[in-house]
Amino acid sequence: MSITAGVPNELGFDPEALRAKYRHERDRRIRPDGPGQYQPAEGAFAEDPYAEGDFEREPLQDTVDAVVIGGGFGGLLAAARLRQVGVERIRVVEKGGDFGGTWYWNRYPGIHCDIESYVYLPLLEELGYVPEWKYAPGEEIRRHARAIGRHFGLYRDACFQTAVTGLAWDEEAVDWLVTTDRGDRMRARYVVVSNGTLDRPKLPGIPGIESFGGHLFHTSRWDFGYTGGDADGRLHKLADKRVALIGTGATAIQVVPHLGRDAQQLFVFQRTPSTVDVRDNRRTDPEWAASLTPGWQRRRMNNFLDIVAGGPAVTEDLVADAWTASAHLLHNLTPVEVRDGLTPEDRERLDELADFRKMNAIRARVAEIVQDPETARLLEPWYRYTCKRPTFSDEYLQTFNRPNVTLVDTADHGGVERVTGDSLVVGDRKYEVDCIILATGFQVGRSDVLTGRLPVYGRGGTALLAHWKQGPRTLHGFYSDGFPNLFTMGSVQNAASVNFTHILDQQAIHIAEVVAQAGKRGARWVEPSTSAVDAWVASLGENSEALYKFQAECTPGYYNNEGKPRLRAGYGKGAVAFHALLEHWRDNGGLDDVLVDAE
Ligand code: NDP
């Protein structure tokens, strides 16, 4: 008899009925054009509204020890960790006008990080800083990014408002030639690429959108000149405006309470509702901050990762929020000692039951908060919890109780159907507005290297993308054979998790250690052997079929390539095991695989 037999009655819901409902909702949402429904942002949508427009400087033709491409937290962490191991000249090259990456571009009203600040903001102990809030506002995060830049002396050599346009390995000089859109031809012994996670806005290809005569902008280029106010809200210029917001993802959840409060009228165009869990933000308790002992942040980060990324069972939950509660729900239903002895099928059944429970609670919360039953019904999400990015708010659902706020469901029409000179059209209804705000997301995880926007030529002039014709070829996601002294950060052929800055920090620590050892052991360069790369690529893919199957049943979104999931060869045992593997590799002769001609 199956382990889950008899469980449905005890739980008080019918799993088969829920499965059927999820399938129905998914099929209702699927679009044949998949990712092709979006357009890349160009022109005004991609411009930098925050930097000096007429900034100019002389092209650089100098040599540095390391060029780091990208000044978000990935690049900052790489640069900081390289500095800690004694690398002298580090040049961060960044498209924006300052450090911050995602947090530089996104300044929309209500912006906060939905991961706890004490584990999300990196290098807190190094900087002697404790964030002011449990969930930090964007401005504090941006300030912290700049503080990291100052603390590690990264402003001295940084190049802002500069995009790298090419990387070419110079065999004779044993360094990289780095060219940019400002005419630079700089040289660097090492290059670290960390760009492209959430920096390129995505625009919906809605017919007629270019003909809209009112105001139109994307949330990541918020036009405060038009709306008034700032990241804290108070959008006073919207008092006489009818506003349409397209999208209901993690960004919209934070923006809607402000638009609802300040606009004369707000129409929220929803295609798929998000899961909206409890937020419970609060100020940092000064007594707690004063009680922290050295090593506190690393302990907390590890504890959070253990809980949300399936590390060893831990009894203590230091973060204790909705992220960890969801992860615990699974463990409560399936204690680790029981789980280990289950077949994969029984494990999946139990995971599914825990998921149904979680989603039932999420749906019950909507019904409790939203007064109009029809609006509440439309706001209920019908898919498995991790099909889409979970969100958290104590104000979003409440906003739909305001008389000036209308939810427009577009699910049966594949989204907003059409835009005219002054309106949005869905079905047989027209919504006349003064302004459209696109909360339609980003080209997630498409780094410039992967898209070919940043061409890379390695040994013998071989193009990286040609070398990767059959898919990426790396050791641990960092480096490729034929491309010496080049490191990439991000989520290719490694393991990720929701606290992405933790993942990036482990990557930065690893890169810095490899570079430090290369210096100490007099290596001519750093490059994985072809056999080491082959072995890593062959070892990947565990769980990828299970993930593929899970995602194929999910409602569409960027997590599953808009309903067209791809088999992804990542490291299947999760982030905790991946970090342990890297440490073990470093301590047990792994470096011999990458340090060429070392002593
Ligand atoms: P998302 O990609 O998550 O959401 C885009 C939204 O636009 C979806 O609701 C989508 O609907 C909707 N949409 C797209 N096209 C149309 C259309 N034609 N008609 C109607 N609706 C449409 O973008 P976000 O900016 O919200 O979030 C991106 C990511 O940024 C998050 O997933 C998260 O990783 C990160 N983020 C993190 C935060 C944090 O605090 N750490 C805060 C904010 C964002 P559908 O779902 O049906 O496709």
pLDDT digits (tens, 9 = 90+) for 330-369: 666 565 666 677 888 888 888 899 899 999 999 999 999 9
Would you say the CB of residue 415 lies under 6 angstroms from ligand 1? yes
Instruction: Tell me the average pLDDT across 174-193.
Output: 98
Q: How far, in Å, is the centroid of ligand 1 from the Cα of 367?
A: 23
CA-nearest residue, atom 37 of ligand 1: 250
| CA proximity to 479, closest of 469, 496, 467, 461 | 467
User: Is there an atom of ligand 1 within 6 Å of 439 CB?
Assistant: yes
Q: 281 CA to middle of ligand 1, Å?
A: 22
* Closest ligand 1 atom, residue 220 Cα: 25
Q: What value does the mean pLDDT take over residues 140-149?
A: 98
10 Å CB burial of residue 586 (0-12, 13-18, 19+) is middle
Ligand 1: centre distance to CA 275 (Å): 12
Find out whether the beta carbon of 318 lies less than 6 Å from any atom of ligand 1: no
CA–CA dist 537, 532 (Å, integer): 9
Residues 51-75, mean pLDDT to the nearest whole number: 95
Rounded distance from Cα 198 to ligand 1 centre (Å): 11
Mean pLDDT of 480-490: 97
CA torsion, points 305, 309, 310, 315, in degrees to nearest 10?
A: 30
Range of lowest pLDDT (87-91, 431-435, 503-507, 555-559): 555-559
Lowest mean pLDDT among 76-90, 381-395, 418-432, 434-448: 434-448
Tokens standing for residue 3: 């382990």
Length of the chain in terms of residues written:
599
| Contacts with 32 (C-beta within 8 Å, 6 or more apart), sequence order | none
* Placement of tokens 């990324």 in the chain: 309
When pLDDT is averaged across residues 178-207 and rounded to a whole number, the result is 91
- Average pLDDT of span 411-438: 97
Instruction: Look up residue 556 and give its two tokens.
Output: 């569409």
pLDDT at 299: 97
**Which element (helix H / strand E) includes 299?**
helix 296-308
Query: 2 pLDDT band (50/70/90 cuts)?
Result: very low
250 lines ligand 1 (CB under 6 A): yes
- What single-letter amino acid sits at 225? G
Helix H, strand E, coil C: the string for 350-368 is: HHHHHHHHHHHHHHHHHHH
CB burial of residue 226 (10 Å; 0-12, 13-18, 19+): middle
Cα–Cα distance list, 508 to 81, 169, 228, 478 (Å): 6, 22, 39, 10
- Pairing, β 525-526 against β 164-170: unpaired
- Alpha carbon of 283 to ligand 1 centroid (Å): 27
Per-residue confidence at 507, pLDDT binned at 50, 70, 90? Answer: very high
Nearest CA to ligand 1 atom 2: 441
Q: Got the DSSP string for 497-523?
A: -S-HHHHHHHHHHHHHHHHHHHHHTT-
Please determine, for residue 551, whether its predicted confidence score (pLDDT) is greater than 80. Answer: yes
DSSP code of 273? P
As a whole number, mean pLDDT of residues 13-28 equals: 94
> 201 CA to middle of ligand 1, Å?
10
Does CATH number 3.50.50.60 belong to domain 63-200+444-520? yes
Longest CA span, the chain: 75
CA-proximal residue: ligand 1, atom 22 (nearest): 247
- Give CA–CA dist 527/598, Å, rounded: 11
CB burial class (10 A; 0-12, 13-18, 19+) of residue 403?
Answer: exposed
Is the predicted pLDDT of residue 19 greater than 90, yes or no? yes
In the chain, what percentage of residues exceed pLDDT 90?
A: 77
Ligand 1 centre to CA of 489 (Å) is 23
The more confident residue out of 306 and 342 is 306
For residue 482 and ligand 1, the question of a CB distance below 6 A is answered with: no
Residue 8: predicted pLDDT? 52
How many CA atoms, within 13 angstroms, populate the side-chain half-sphere of residue 482?
Answer: 20
258-279: pLDDT as tens digits = 999 999 999 999 999 999 999 9
What pLDDT is stored for residue 334 in this prediction? 61
Q: How far is the CA of 439 from the centre of ligand 1 (A)?
A: 6
* More confident position, 35 or 188: 188
Tell me: pLDDT of 156 over 60.
Answer: yes
Residue 1: predicted pLDDT: 38
Return the domain boundaries, the chain.
63-200+444-520
Q: Indicate if ligand 1 lies below 6 Å from the C-beta of 269.
A: yes
CB 68 within 8 A of CB 49: no
Beta pairing class for 423-426 and 429-432: antiparallel
